[in-house]
Structure 1
């Protein structure tokens, strides 16, 4: 299966600080890939490189010609004084009304079309943002913490819908997620990132990988808890690996 996006030994520096170090990966149609890692690991930077919002310091990012990408941000900030319905919010993309209605239906939010954006719950807002991403008819769907602000029952429904959309559209899905239980249960491929790729593979194969265990520890029960970050090496202030560093939480 040909890759929609390929990163080849990509590094990224900002203000003389190394954010990412020699990242190589590929995203393929029909696969759900989860990106996990502690805060400051470079996840947002990596997503921006995939989206083409930033350019790598070195290495190459290759995208299939004409690739359609739908992006769902982690959160949305709107001017509280601006009256804006869900339908009007989606219309800002330039999509016609039938497409807007269809995308809301696919996201499980058709009943919200005439609601005010300012009156939505966290889960409702996330579904509207998902609908907005679907307007692109994406070949690659990029979801940055899609369950942000969503309650437990809403998380289950949202993640189930993501799997359904992958099957329906045949698209690649990249999910940035802190939900380790869902990642290990529903993802085709997991990337553990901490400025470099610590491990990458099928959930079953990486659950006992030293790189995964170093980052997250052994998960004896399904959790939705904060990370346990026990790293077997240190990073300098520039992000470089310091050999012989002690483990730390």
Structure 2
């Protein structure tokens, strides 16, 4: 096999991927779906639990129980057992390290075909269950958001026998063009590109000139009884609505 001179490396060998770094970057990436992150967390947690069998933890727990009971003889007996167990486990770990130097990871796990297949099925099932759980939580949040939107107060603004129904916009106001019918009903002119209004200001309930123009602020001004809007013949009232029943 051809190798680089002086390096002893295979020219065709692909560079190793730093999966720990790649995983951390994916988890931190806002573009990655929360569902994908939930599945990733479940799989990582399961594989991270794989550890060599150890009896020292059980013996330590027994020592704590014996100490609490002031059973000195049992504590001494368990202490000797703990020392021997630690010695045996170290010898076993050293043996496993020597084996790992002789065989590759793939060769080692190939010696346990039944266990590997069982683990593969377990992880596949875990991925399905974690996905379904995350999807259920996502749908629950969506239903909650829908209910909140459905229960949002609707207002009716009227003038000269005509009226328009509207709600207070939440968050950053959209471009005027999105609410063209609303603004035109209130006497504004929306630019052709939908980005500006004319006039670009009005008198608020305190008689001050304001450029804060949005559905929310106009509705609030009408609710305050802004004399400028009232003088133009506008009135506002809350629309009585019956909340829709939740689907079974």
- TM-score w.r.t. length of structure 2: 0.19
Bigger relative contact order, structure 1 or 2, given CA contacts below 8 A and separation 6+? 1
- TM-score w.r.t. length of structure 1: 0.19
Higher relative strand content? 1
Instruction: Please tell me whether Structure 1 or Structure 2 has the larger radius of gyration of its CA atoms.
Output: 2
